[in-house]
Structure 1
Amino acid sequence: MSMHIEIGLNAIASYRRMSYEIWYALAEYVDNSTQSYANNKADLDAAYTREGEGLEVRITYERQGSDPVLRIVDNAMGMNYQDLEHALKVAYPPAISTGRCRYGMGMKTSSCWIGNRWSVTTKKLGDTNEYTVEINVRKIENGNSELVTKTIANQPADTHYTRIEIRDHNREFKGRTISKIKDYLRSMYRMDFRAKSLRLFYNDEEMIWEEFDSKLRRNKAGELYKREFIFDVGGRTAYGWAGILDVGARADTGFSMLHSDRVVKGWPDAWRPEGIYGHNRNDLLNQRLLGEIHLEDFDVTHTKDMIQWYGDEEDLVEKGLKDAIADLLPIARTPWKDQEDERGPTDGEVDLAISGLRDELTSPEMIDKISITVLPPEEALIASLARIAEPVKAGRTPDIQAKIGDLEVWVYVVPTDVGPFDPYVVCETGANSKVIVIINMQHPHVSQISGEQALMNYFRHCVYDAVAEWQAQKVRSTLDSNTIKMLKDGLLRVSLLMEQHAASSREKHGAI
């Protein structure tokens, strides 16, 4: 006796709940168009020569009252009845499954994720019939799987196109989403743009990829700090290039991962292998190092938004990449002698910060806080802080345990067990060589901090205030505010000194 797996029709409705991003959903249609061209290149090139055109894909989002429509139109090969029938079968891989279309899922999952009603109209080069099929996800979900196809005969044999229209959307396209769609699409298809094999439009705006070469640093001989690389990973090949930006811009750095000459993860959300970039750092290397890595011999996820790693594949690729570009890493970490550190704030950012702080200092709310004249007794304040600190110390492991000579620094970053009305930080700096810092992540000030670097600087100030106070207690019997500020000033210079010493050491040993 044997059993057979069965998949119910309502499975198609689950596509709308997939963890997906709209730009990857749209990329599925572009993948189909570009793969259609690759599979039929000779016939289409001949047609394009006659027509004075090339492959074009146009994505249009139109708001039509309460029922917006997303339309994707291409002039690729098109489909005959058998091709269309096959394309509408879920998880039936295409006849050629080694390129961008592999799993037989893309058009169906994307269309159902975007909307509940969609249609495909298509005509194949050389055929004389145009076919239209309409898909109503809610009807299919309720057990009606019949798809009625409309045929228009006697069409010109030399026309070729596919048009997909999606309505009854599950999510809106608006605001920053549209800007991100365009950024991701122009990044994903950079190889096609380089080869001039695709013109891609979003709402009549042509997507154009701007190369990074003009932004890369040059050495004294005028050569770009850019290296091509190739390495082996267990019999599979990885190749690409790495470069160093002249003017640092963290948003541009990281490696774009390509599969089948299409970016699966890359700018503006590039891969940042931790063995190279570290974890949430903002040093010079993180501001400058970028590149592309082709991983044709590896698998991709079925949504084609990441390489599908198995076992230790990611670690092996990361190690191979680090070894292949080892000569660039010390250069990326070195401050340029002809530039100031580009990580500092711009004049505009300084002006905005001054204006914001001026408004805060002169606000009625600040006047109320300054006007407080009654403070709790010191003993009561110490007891109140102890009631916060003791449960944290008893129930949590420190997030940071640092040994600095004879001093131990324990830092707790506490997201719970404290509240918005508790102090922003609780510090214990007793006579023994131990400093304990408890940072309250529920404090309202934390909600105004954006980005890992800003948060790291906030943590710095919380911790260095406590360390400077401990230093002052150690060297003087009474705490003096100027002494504490002087000691903290030195602590705030440590990160820059670390970079300068590292650069000096590399120069001394001829690494540059």
Structure 2
Amino acid sequence: MANKDKNAQDGEDFEVNIEPDASALRMFRSMSFTPWYALGEFVDNSITSALRNHKELITKNGKDYQLKVEITFPAGTNSLVVEDNAAGITQKDMQRALKTGVPPEDTSVGLSKHGVGMKAASLWWGEHVIIDTYSLTEPNGWHVEIDVSEKGEVTSIVKVSKIPHRGFSGTRLEVRGLWQKTPQAKTVTSIKSYLPSIYRAFIGDTAKDGQLKCSILYQNQPLKFEYPKLLTEPLWTSTSGPGEGELERYWRKDISIELQTGKKIEGWVGILDRMSRDLSGFFLHYRGKGIAGVVPLNSDKDEDQAEAKDAISRGSYKPRRIFKQQGSYPDQSFIGEFDITAFGKTITTDSPLWTPDEEGEFIEKLFNKMSDDDYIRMATNLRRNKAAVVDEEANKKSDKTEAQVIQDALSGHVDHVEIETTAEELEQIKVVLGDDAKEEIWIVPIEDHEGHKHIFKLAFVKDVSRPFLMVKELNTHEHEIEVNIFHPSLNGVIIDGNGRKILQRLAVAFAASEVFSSGYDKSRLRNKANDVLSKLGMILKD
């Protein structure tokens, strides 16, 4: 060992005991990572390296130095590459960096805490890890490989080889032989949404003054985060409107909470300018890194994000004491960020290390502060009224898109074939509505297999006394669908752009089922509706 230490001091090749051996390291494959948090471990290391050497990196690279982390899955290689321009790993730190469970000597700066993240994430992704690192303070770089594949040598000793310096500091990590699937479709959307949200405190314009700035690239595309707009309104003391004499205010409040244990939680809470299931919720961070309640998607422009949004929303941090029941106005109104660094974080960095009592005390004290300053009352009263306000431009754009989607999905793909049902399923035909004031939505031509062109007209009516859905036969091939958006069954439902889409799809499915079923047996409606919905699903699933 004395010779190894001497070689290390001389800047030559040396060996490191990484303990445990390669066979034990294979267990990291079974850790409960998500792809975005596993990739985040590499970003953690890069940010930590840059934070600890920020002044030196600025001195070396200039005052405009910005950390850059590039994440790529090269096509056709079954590999992952993560590269940065941080401070690299020195010869002295190499043994600690490679050995599992040995934390940095100083954990007061940066995001690394347990000494597990990089190794665990690397070996969760794949079986062969290759690291090339170039220190800010050394004339050469270092190369090391950890191979835990069945073909690899089962040993706890790895060789670290001296390599020429590339000219600037940083680290390149490659994982070959991936155990996990290369991210596709929804996973890619989630990664590109989660990562900038998790590291919002460090990315671009959202980084605070004097804070290390970082750019994260995924497949050569820079990731960005934008905060949603918060509400500016007078206090609504009731659902009728603002209270007399109430002045306009900006609904964002700084929060400081001290628990009985002496631990402090600081942050802010706000009310969204527009209600959003996807953006609402609290963001909990450890030294700036989001570890819980990371709700990243701040745009409805990309409809391919729909399924990723559903998964992300389910993971949002929404204490029900504050957010009430799902789908309520408070549930879609509140947003905020809180620093829970005092509690620490789990190894997989997706939750704070607080006890149930500590979390409960935090929630109760936060609720009281929000109530004292009328946040609960404001969200409930304002949103209940303003939910009916129509965003005309957004709705027209949504209606036009939806009409085209329905026409493309159904025209030429429906027929008059009966779907068999049992006698018990027979139901009476409902009486159609007369003409009344209503909101005309769209007109869509749909052609059946026989070449007949059917014209479907959709309208929304607003009358609590009427049935939910009616279909009128204007003539043999012209049909009018009326959906009652004031029906009691929709009480408490937010009829925003997404809600309108759902109603339109269900309405045309039921109406087309009735029109294209043979005879007048409306009991077959449900089975035919499933058939029509499946055809809609074929074009909508992508």
Superposed displacement of residue 140, structure 1: 9.0
Q: Which runs of 5+ in 1 are unaligned?
A: 1-5, 379-463, 466-488, 497-512
Partner Cα distance (1:17, 1:223) in 2: 50
Superposed displacement of residue 299, structure 1: 2.0
What is residue 169 of structure 1 aligned with on the other side? 178
Partner Cα distance (1:275, 1:340) in 2: 26
Q: Does 1:226 align with 2:252?
A: yes
Partner Cα distance (1:163, 1:249) in 2: 39
- Give the % identical residues: 25
Contact 2:281–2:318 at 8 Å: present in 1 too?
yes
Query: Structure 2 vs 1, CA of residues 87 and 107 (structure 1 numbering), >3 Å: closer, same or farther?
Result: same
What is residue 115 of structure 2 aligned with on the other side? 104
Partner Cα distance (1:202, 1:275) in 2: 37
1:209 maps to which of 225, 239, 243: 225
Query: Structure 2 vs 1, CA of residues 342 and 118 (structure 1 numbering), >3 Å: closer, same or farther?
Result: farther
2:48 maps to which of 10, 35, 43: 35
Q: Does 1:90 align with 2:90?
A: no
Superposed displacement of residue 354, structure 1: 11
Superposed displacement of residue 377, structure 1: 12
Partner Cα distance (1:69, 1:140) in 2: 17
Query: Structure 2 vs 1, CA of residues 353 and 274 (structure 1 numbering), >3 Å: closer, same or farther?
Result: farther
Query: Structure 2 vs 1, CA of residues 312 and 202 (structure 1 numbering), >3 Å: closer, same or farther?
Result: same
Superposed displacement of residue 229, structure 1: 0.8
What is residue 404 of structure 1 aligned with on the other side? none
Q: Does 1:262 align with 2:289?
A: yes
For residue 307 of structure 1, give the secondary structure of its aligned residue in structure 2: coil
Contact 2:251–2:270 at 8 Å: present in 1 too?
yes
Contact 1:230–1:324 at 8 Å: present in 2 too?
no
Higher helix content, 1 or 2: 1
What is residue 239 of structure 2 aligned with on the other side? none
Superposed displacement of residue 275, structure 1: 1.5
Report how many aligned residue pairs link the two structures.
377
1:54 maps to which of 55, 66, 70: 66
State the Cα deviation string for residues 237-288 of structure 1 (Å, max 9, x = none).
1111111112211100000111111111211343111211234x10111121
What is residue 139 of structure 2 aligned with on the other side? 128
Partner Cα distance (1:7, 1:250) in 2: 45
Superposed displacement of residue 340, structure 1: 2.1
Q: TM-score, normalised by structure 1?
A: 0.65
Question: 233-242 or 356-365: which moved more?
Answer: 356-365
Q: Does 1:239 align with 2:266?
A: yes
Superposed displacement of residue 338, structure 1: 6.0
How do 1:58-457 residues align onto structure 2 when only pairs under 5 Å count? Answer: 58-63=70-75, 65=76, 67-98=77-108, 99-138=110-149, 143-152=154-163, 155=165, 159-170=168-179, 171-193=181-203, 194-195=207-208, 197=212, 198-212=214-228, 214-219=229-234, 221-234=247-260, 235-265=262-292, 266-268=294-296, 269=312, 270-279=316-325, 281-326=326-371, 327-335=374-382, 340=388, 346=395, 352=402, 368-369=418-419, 375=423
For residue 80 of structure 2, give the secondary structure of its aligned residue in structure 1: strand
Partner Cα distance (1:231, 1:173) in 2: 40
Superposed displacement of residue 41, structure 1: 2.3
Q: TM-score, normalised by structure 2?
A: 0.62
Contact 1:100–1:260 at 8 Å: present in 2 too?
yes
Superposed displacement of residue 303, structure 1: 0.9
Query: Structure 2 vs 1, CA of residues 490 and 164 (structure 1 numbering), >3 Å: closer, same or farther?
Result: closer
1:492 maps to which of 489, 493, 510: 489
Superposed displacement of residue 357, structure 1: 11
State the Cα deviation string for residues 144-186 of structure 1 (Å, max 9, x = none).
3332222125x48x73111111111112111121221111111
Contact 1:11–1:141 at 8 Å: present in 2 too?
no
What is residue 414 of structure 1 aligned with on the other side? none
CA RMSD, aligned part only? 3.6
